[in-house]
Structure 1
Amino acid sequence: MRAVKAPNGASAATLASDGSDLIGALPDELLHHVLSFLPAQQSVRTCVLARRWLDLWKSATRLRIAGAADGKHRASFSKVRELVDHIVLLRGGSPLETFEFCFDGLSDADVPRVNLWIQHALACRAQVLRLNIVWDLSSRNTSRIRPDDAPLVSQHLTRAPWCAVKDKFANFSCCPSLRVLQIEDCNLTHANRISCQSLEHLRIYGTSFSYSRRIRIHAPNLVTLQLRVHYGRTPVLETASPLLWAVVTVHDGGADLCRHLYSGDCYDGSCQGCRNIRNDNSCILLQGLSQAKNLVFFQLGLKRRDLQWCLTFSMLKTLVLNENWCVPNVDALASVLEHSPVLEELFLQLFSKGLRYKVQMKGRFNPKELPSTISAHLKRVEVKCEVVDETVLNVLKFLSKHMELEPNVCVKMQQKEMPD
């Protein structure tokens, strides 16, 4: 069988049975879109397919530098940095929708080069800037980017999902179109502020904050917030945003941990966590959460300090709290209920390490017996626990004064063996 010769240098793989070049017949805009799904290394290699493909890769709407040429495995930054320099230089100012890179072994000395790539992406009007960096742990270079460096400037950036970046990338005050910001496993110990007027969705997970001062978050138009504090002082939410929902967790690795685990001000002069909280002259979290409609709040030492401000959660419909709001007594829980006038659903997760029983109680409040300080809209209450201890009994005693239990589903108990 005689082979069909590819016309005008077209690849034989792109030919139909009649010899026509199927892929080559596609319009440039569609080919640019197809090339945008390839890692940059593979996209560049298409220039050898045919004369028409020589410059197509330069106009791909997505520049994805994922490390290894296959796009699946990370490559050392030192092995691909010259290639990326050439790609950025050759593609010129062709518009971008997404700029994405993911590297291993980045050192502080490489940061200026990465900054130039980011500035190139912003100059090309990138709407999505996705950074995922694995730093070289052997590097001892301390020339970090300082927070007084110039902020990012872009009229087009709308999404910034970033992983493992450092301090500079916290000032978005010059990005008026930014809507989504995701910061995971980052180092913000030298940053003073996360600021963006247009921001609607903020997620901060696994990020290191300073142990000596609090970073401040200014995002007055937030719709959703996910904040999980593992290391350093809890950030201050400066403004009360009209949050549709917020999930806030302050873990025991933070700098605001009371040595007695529950108080938030144990009046022990040697308790560094309580000193950190006591020395602040403003509300840390609750003021910024006071306009939330749905709130999940798991924390240790901040509640008593913030509750002194007697804030009203005027829009709160659903509230989820953990056992830290119920020790050493139910005063904090009662205070939140008293200041939530339209609350409809309350969920309490009272978990302990010594697992023995699983208990779940559901019910609803009897509006006729509710005190004036508790929302008459409260329709649903659920309490889940794994140990029936003093804390659980105190909570149940508090709720039983006003709760009307649902028939047949009031209490479910299942024995569970103690773990080894």
Structure 2
Amino acid sequence: MPAGKSHKGVPAAAPASGGDRIGALPDEILHRVLSFLPAQQAVRTCVLSRRWLHLWKYATGLRVVGADGKEPAPFEEVREFVDSLLLLRGSSPLERFEVKVAGAAIDVRNLRLWVRYGMMCNVQVLRLKVYGNAPALLRFEYPPLASRHLTKLQLRGLAFNNDFLDFSRCPALQDLNITDCSFMHAERISSKSLKHLNIKRGRFDLSSRTPIHTPCLASLNLQVREGRTPILERMPLLVSADILIGNCDYCSRSHNGDCGDESCKGCIPNDTSSVLLHGISEVETLLLASGTKTFIFRRDLKCCPTFSRLKTLVLFERCIPALTCILEHSPVLEIFKLFALPLGFIVNVKMSGSFNPAKLPSTVSPHLKIVKVRCGTVDERVLEILEFLSKFNISMIFFGNTLTLSIFLTSGLRYFGN
């Protein structure tokens, strides 16, 4: 009934400016507004009025999270609520479905049913995050996901089995984010549609390598906390890659991981092809970092590929042969940043300088314009690096107790920020 009109002798209603402004919105907008609320709060709106009785069932998003909307919900407190909620809600389409739970005794059977429900509702963005003391004990034994609508998937605190990470039946999936998960029993990570892959603090198998087959990938962030580094298959469309390997995948008897003992779980047989570098050799921007004992980069450099499109390179490496090899195999490199210290250490020294491009060795990219080197202290290893760089005819100037050590290669001395 329009504002200002009376109905059966009832006085005219006040204008909307003093009434229920939210309730005056169209249903489609309210469905979207409700999608941002935690599920518990969205359901409670059913008591506001007769109109609100069923609106929550058609919200475009469903969030099973803590009451504040940020923290995880205690699993035991929300399990029955969520089971009933999904039963009453029906199969109205979902754009986003978020499950964020915590607890010491999480029943994975409930999680399977909740994920299956999301697939049934043609969810486009699925977030499943589990928090607990031992996430690797929560094995997600479930057939591979199958959805023509799923575009983004975020997983946390799960242990994958068999072919769960085979996304061949998710042809629209483009964004995969996996945090604090175990891949020890996963056969592979595979997707022909995936464009962005982010694996943080991954735990991999100790005796075999997990293949990653993502030929359309544009960006990769891979952090290996435990186990053997996965094998990266060719990624011809890769634009950027950040690869950080912790103190794993090493051998106490061999610097390059080829001690010759077939029973050594840390080493790789000599006839094995590249693990990392060949797969990402067509990348444009690359960051490589590893623990001090990890040999995987040094081993791959034995058969170093040509980085034909690499323009920006960031290395956490203090090995001169490795630096030489990568520089000589990067023909279009423009920017080179070297961190001569372990990841996470404080940088507290700075230098800057210039060079004569005519004296740049022929084996190094003629496009190289900027080189930055950062370190915590100028020790013997850093001096070796500076001696190596002096072959480029760089003159050095120290700037006292500052935050970075930077060496700039330009046709004339120019200053760049940190």
Query: Which range, TM-score by smaller chain?
Result: 0.7 to 0.9
Give yes or no for the alignment of 1:171 onto 2:166: yes
- Measure the CA separation in 1 of the matches of 2:225 and 2:379: 27
C-alpha change, 1:319 and 1:25, in structure 2 (3 Å) is: same
Check the 8 A contact 1:39/1:69 in 2, yes or no. Answer: yes
Of 384, 388, 391, which residue of structure 2 is paired with 1:394? 384
- Measure the CA separation in 2 of the matches of 1:316 and 1:365: 22
- Residue of structure 1 equivalent to 2:48: 49
Deviation by residue 1:350-398 (Cα, 9 ceiling, x = unmatched):
1269x99943334455332233221111111111122222221221112
C-alpha change, 1:36 and 1:284, in structure 2 (3 Å) is: same
Letter in 1 for 2:313: L
Letter in 1 for 2:92: S
C-alpha change, 1:415 and 1:226, in structure 2 (3 Å) is: closer
Give yes or no for the alignment of 1:312 onto 2:309: no
Letter in 2 for 1:290: S
Letter in 2 for 1:287: H
Q: What TM-score comes out, normalization by structure 2 length?
A: 0.84
Check the 8 A contact 1:357/1:413 in 2, yes or no. Answer: no
C-alpha change, 1:214 and 1:107, in structure 2 (3 Å) is: farther
- Residue of structure 2 equivalent to 1:195: 190
Letter in 2 for 1:297: L
Of 150, 158, 169, which residue of structure 2 is paired with 1:157? 150
Give yes or no for the alignment of 1:115 onto 2:106: no
- Residue of structure 2 equivalent to 1:414: 401
- Residue of structure 2 equivalent to 1:232: 227
- Residue of structure 1 equivalent to 2:127: 130
Letter in 2 for 1:291: E
Letter in 2 for 1:292: V
1:20 Cα offset (Å): 5.0
- Residue of structure 2 equivalent to 1:25: 24
> Tell me, what secondary structure is at the counterpart of 2:385?
helix
Give yes or no for the alignment of 1:341 onto 2:336: no
C-alpha change, 1:217 and 1:318, in structure 2 (3 Å) is: same
- Measure the CA separation in 2 of the matches of 1:78 and 1:144: 18
Greater mean deviation of Cα atoms: 50-59 or 157-166: 157-166
- Measure the CA separation in 2 of the matches of 1:103 and 1:238: 34
1:192 Cα offset (Å): 1.6
The residue correspondences of 1:201-216 to structure 2 (distance < 5 A) are 201-216=196-211
1:266 Cα offset (Å): 6.5
1:293 Cα offset (Å): 0.6
Q: What TM-score comes out, normalization by structure 1 length?
A: 0.84
> Tell me, what secondary structure is at the counterpart of 2:165?
coil
> Tell me, what secondary structure is at the counterpart of 2:306?
coil
1:161 Cα offset (Å): 1.7
> Tell me, what secondary structure is at the counterpart of 2:386?
helix
C-alpha change, 1:320 and 1:70, in structure 2 (3 Å) is: closer
1:248 Cα offset (Å): 0.7
Q: For structure 2, which runs of at least 5 residues remain unmatched after alignment? A: 1-6, 8-12, 404-418
* Count of equivalent residues: 386
- Measure the CA separation in 2 of the matches of 1:343 and 1:215: 30
- Measure the CA separation in 1 of the matches of 2:61 and 2:150: 14
Check the 8 A contact 2:209/2:229 in 1, yes or no. Answer: yes
1:332 Cα offset (Å): 1.3
Give yes or no for the alignment of 1:332 onto 2:319: no
1:136 Cα offset (Å): 6.3
Letter in 2 for 1:332: A
Q: For structure 1, which runs of at least 5 residues remain unmatched after alignment? A: 1-6, 8-13
Give yes or no for the alignment of 1:93 onto 2:91: yes
- Measure the CA separation in 1 of the matches of 2:94 and 2:311: 41
Of 279, 285, 303, which residue of structure 2 is paired with 1:288? 279
- Measure the CA separation in 2 of the matches of 1:341 and 1:402: 16
Give yes or no for the alignment of 1:219 onto 2:199: no
Deviation by residue 1:73-121 (Cα, 9 ceiling, x = unmatched):
443212211111111111111010100011111646x212211111111
Identity over the aligned pairs, expressed in percent? 46
C-alpha change, 1:367 and 1:71, in structure 2 (3 Å) is: closer
C-alpha change, 1:136 and 1:333, in structure 2 (3 Å) is: closer
- Residue of structure 2 equivalent to 1:267: 259
> Tell me, what secondary structure is at the counterpart of 1:24?
coil
Letter in 1 for 2:97: F
C-alpha change, 1:280 and 1:234, in structure 2 (3 Å) is: farther
- Residue of structure 2 equivalent to 1:4: none
